[in-house]
Structure 1
Amino acid sequence: MSGKKIKVLHAITRLDRGGSAENTLLTVAQANMDRYEVSLVTGPTEGERSPTEALARTRGVHMAAAPHLVRNVSPFADLRAVWELWRLMRQGRFDIVHTHTSKAGLLGRLAARLAGVPIVIHTPHGHVFYGYFGPMVTRLFVWLERWAAGFSQRVISLTEKGAQDHVDFAIAAREKFVVIHSGINFSPFDPDGPSPQAVRAELGIPAEGMVFGTLGRLTAIKGQEDLIEAFAAVRERVDNAWLLLVGDGEEREALIAQAERLGVMDRMVLAGWRQDVYAVLAAMDIFALPSLNEGMGKALVEAMYARLPCVATRVGGVAELLADDVGLLVDASSPRELGAALSQLAGDAERRQQMGEAGRRRAADYSVEKMVAKIEALYEEVLAEKGLGR
């Protein structure tokens, strides 16, 4: 192996509090800096930024900006973004460009092709083939993904289901896809942090309450609207039931209005984003993931690691996580089924404990160290195929 470091550029649209940004930041922050020179380019981020960005900077990741790389479709901005990315790639003379999420994946891979980057790898972090857009826009995205996959050496899926979805939509042949689970940084999960009782007291939840909770951006695709509707029914069946929503987003006011309309606002707490994730999860009794679409479900793994029994929708790779009775699965967009499952678990303390222990054991396989090792093994495989890096 030569002394020259392999230059890797990661590209993602934004560094918000979502799972995709967290996954990307952990990938760059935990990289083998003796082997790789790592850079990360992003577009502008609105709202609260991921706290893991500071770790990436501390680790020596080179940060760059593409001001026109935005999430919404805008032909003028998108062309400017391709030019910004192309210029960065030409100047940086990168060996590998690794793009993340749909928009940065399309524009970044086009720019990498135009810049003559020898290796292009893409991680979609899920997909937009259902749950996001209408039929016409979805067909356009499918076509664009097929086109971009043609000049990608590998596509990383977070789950087997995600890889199969891409194959079913004829994005590329199965051999182009590699499954690498999203890694979770478990080090902040401090068992010596605030007690569940202290967190509940801070949030105004009684110690004896039965707390149903979720964690994630307050946005339509995450399905909190269905959870609130389900909770309205659960409250009629479960004594002293409470609903705890951890996170923030554009649907916050709409969710408050819904809770007020259904008469459950007095039992719903919106905690916003929290740094003490483990402590807040430990204050819950049952975790719910009501998403309409998911890549893998980072918040679900965190809840499992916190020994919470989980109820989640049967979307993306969630079924793989909760297989073998590790949790309960329900159909997406089915508040009645979700409510029934939550009520069932609320009435069965022994099953909650069994699920919590089984979930903890499974979650341990999703560490950030294992994820980074697999990604870098993939880099080395593709470098060898191209006759580079030795």
Structure 2
Amino acid sequence: MKKILLVDTKYKEGGPKTVHQNILNSYLSKKYEIKEIGISDSVLHFNPIKGMKFVRSYWKLINAEHADVALVRGLQYIGFLMVLAAKLSNVKKIIVCVHGSDWDVPERTFRKIILKYIIEPLEIRMADSIFTVCQAEQKIVKPLKLAKAGANKGVIYNTFPNVDINKISSGKLRKELNIPENKIIVISVGRVVIRKGHQYIIETLKNFKDSAFVFAIVGSGDYLHHYEEQCKEEIAEKRLFLLGNRTDVYELLKDSDIFLFPTLNENHSMALLEAINMHCAAIVTNVGGNTETIKDGETGIVIRPKNAADIVSALYRMKDKEKRKIYTQAAYAFSQVQFSVENTLGKLEILFNE
């Protein structure tokens, strides 16, 4: 039986953690010995001493397992260090899964230039196989053309959760927050950081006075306290609820009507798939892999990033319950097929066996 290592930093929440859990809980765990390894993420800031210590820690972890395959979450600086550790170890094959890249963010700082044109190309070149989780990333990440011959395996999407909605309890969110049944709950789930675009939800709230809608933001991060200070009035009026990190996300999503995803860059979002699974109508920005899941006017509404006016317009379009129902049914049907176990983990299994 082959031994597979899932190599990443340790997360308390977020998409990467969910992706690993999906693999560990899948049929693949019966075909392979799969183990998750990693240490808590640390701020390295290009410090060479910290970087070398990080590589050494991962090298020791990987070597101790005597594994056949290391599946490493890349790209970016941390990904490079983990791939380097795997390259120096006794593992037989390195597969890099691209969940994010410095090419996603259009910055031209010296640090970004080093990452985009030196670090990430080296990381890609070290991989025996590499794939992205959305088609958009195949176009965005230019150094993918530097992969070894035949190493770029294209796209392997994240797997649709396919959680039985009937087994998820209803009414928890409305009861907890005392939200009347006639209110439309707009929820956003994700780390509260700049690139997730929560600031445009706040801007929308400041200018959008329709009392039919209430907003809930789920997640923790650097800007949560900032938004608490900025939105004291909206919080007091119970138009905005900042819920922090939660472990009952499916229950919260099931009670919600609209999933608002104003992210500034994205790959293939697990939070979006979870919302679709719980029959939330989705409003997403036209970035990354979002439009590979949501087709505007068919499975949801697509808006421009950094645009509060577009959010307002989309919310009005979503106000009709029957319209939301059409979107949720279409998105659910599409995602179940497009991101099925066969189309996702089945492709990953092929890579493990090559």
Deviation sequence 1:139-184 (CA, Å, 0-9, x none): 2221211111112122121111112212477554895143111124
Deviation sequence 1:297-342 (CA, Å, 0-9, x none): 1111111122222111111100111126211111211122222222
Aligned-partner SS, 1:211: strand
Q: 2:48 aligns with which of 58, 75, 80?
A: 75
1:342 maps onto 2:315 in alignment = yes
Q: Which residue does the alignment assign to 2:131?
A: 156
**Aligned CA distance change for structure 1 residues 202 and 167 (closer, same or farther; 3 Å):** same
Task: Give, in angstroms, the shift of residue 36 of structure 1.
Answer: 2.1
**Aligned CA distance change for structure 1 residues 33 and 107 (closer, same or farther; 3 Å):** same
Aligned-partner SS, 1:214: strand
Task: Give, in angstroms, the shift of residue 368 of structure 1.
Answer: 5.3
- 1:86-165 equivalence runs, <5 A: 86-101=59-74, 102-131=76-105, 134-142=108-116, 143-165=118-140
**Aligned CA distance change for structure 1 residues 32 and 301 (closer, same or farther; 3 Å):** closer
Indicate conservation of the 8 Å contact 1:26/1:368, yes or no: no
Indicate conservation of the 8 Å contact 2:6/2:71, yes or no: yes
Q: Which residue does the alignment assign to 2:239?
A: 267
Task: Give, in angstroms, the shift of residue 268 of structure 1.
Answer: 0.5
Q: Which residue does the alignment assign to 2:23?
A: 27
Q: Distance in 2 between matches of 1:174 and 1:225?
A: 43
Aligned-partner SS, 1:317: helix
What are the ranges of 5 or more consecutive residues in structure 1 without an aligned counterpart?
A: 46-68, 382-390
Count of equivalent residues:
349
**Aligned CA distance change for structure 1 residues 21 and 363 (closer, same or farther; 3 Å):** same
Q: Distance in 1 between matches of 2:223 and 2:27?
A: 35
Q: Distance in 2 between matches of 1:272 and 1:294?
A: 21
Deviation sequence 1:98-134 (CA, Å, 0-9, x none): 1113344211211222225331111121323233865
Indicate conservation of the 8 Å contact 1:157/1:179, yes or no: yes
Indicate conservation of the 8 Å contact 2:184/2:214, yes or no: yes
Q: Which residue does the alignment assign to 1:50?
A: none
Q: Which residue does the alignment assign to 2:12?
A: 16
Q: 1:310 aligns with which of 282, 294, 297?
A: 282
**Aligned CA distance change for structure 1 residues 341 and 174 (closer, same or farther; 3 Å):** farther
**Aligned CA distance change for structure 1 residues 81 and 260 (closer, same or farther; 3 Å):** same
1:194 maps onto 2:163 in alignment = no
Deviation sequence 1:72-99 (CA, Å, 0-9, x none): 5432221011112223333433221111
1:211 maps onto 2:169 in alignment = no
Give me the CA root mean square deviation: 2.6
What are the ranges of 5 or more consecutive residues in structure 2 without an aligned counterpart?
A: none
Q: Distance in 2 between matches of 1:284 and 1:263?
A: 18
**Aligned CA distance change for structure 1 residues 350 and 31 (closer, same or farther; 3 Å):** closer
Q: Distance in 2 between matches of 1:290 and 1:174?
A: 37
Q: Distance in 2 between matches of 1:216 and 1:144?
A: 27
Q: Distance in 1 between matches of 2:44 and 2:265?
A: 18
Q: Distance in 1 between matches of 2:318 and 2:148?
A: 41
Letter of the 1:155 partner, please give it: I
More displaced 10-residue stretch of structure 1: 96-105 or 220-229: 96-105
Indicate conservation of the 8 Å contact 2:83/2:127, yes or no: yes
Q: 1:322 aligns with which of 274, 294, 306?
A: 294
Q: Distance in 2 between matches of 1:247 and 1:147?
A: 33
Indicate conservation of the 8 Å contact 1:291/1:332, yes or no: yes
**Aligned CA distance change for structure 1 residues 303 and 72 (closer, same or farther; 3 Å):** farther
Q: Distance in 1 between matches of 2:69 and 2:228?
A: 45
**Aligned CA distance change for structure 1 residues 333 and 370 (closer, same or farther; 3 Å):** same
More displaced 10-residue stretch of structure 1: 88-97 or 303-312: 88-97
Indicate conservation of the 8 Å contact 2:186/2:258, yes or no: yes
Aligned-partner SS, 1:225: helix
Letter of the 1:298 partner, please give it: M
Q: Which residue does the alignment assign to 1:277?
A: 249
More displaced 10-residue stretch of structure 1: 34-43 or 124-133: 124-133
Indicate conservation of the 8 Å contact 1:326/1:359, yes or no: yes
Of all paired residues, the percent bearing the same amino acid is 23
TM, length-normalised to structure 1: 0.81
Q: Distance in 1 between matches of 2:303 and 2:149?
A: 28
Task: Give, in angstroms, the shift of residue 71 of structure 1.
Answer: 6.4
**Aligned CA distance change for structure 1 residues 227 and 145 (closer, same or farther; 3 Å):** same
Q: 2:36 aligns with which of 34, 40, 43?
A: 40
Aligned-partner SS, 1:307: coil
1:183 maps onto 2:155 in alignment = no
**Aligned CA distance change for structure 1 residues 263 and 35 (closer, same or farther; 3 Å):** closer
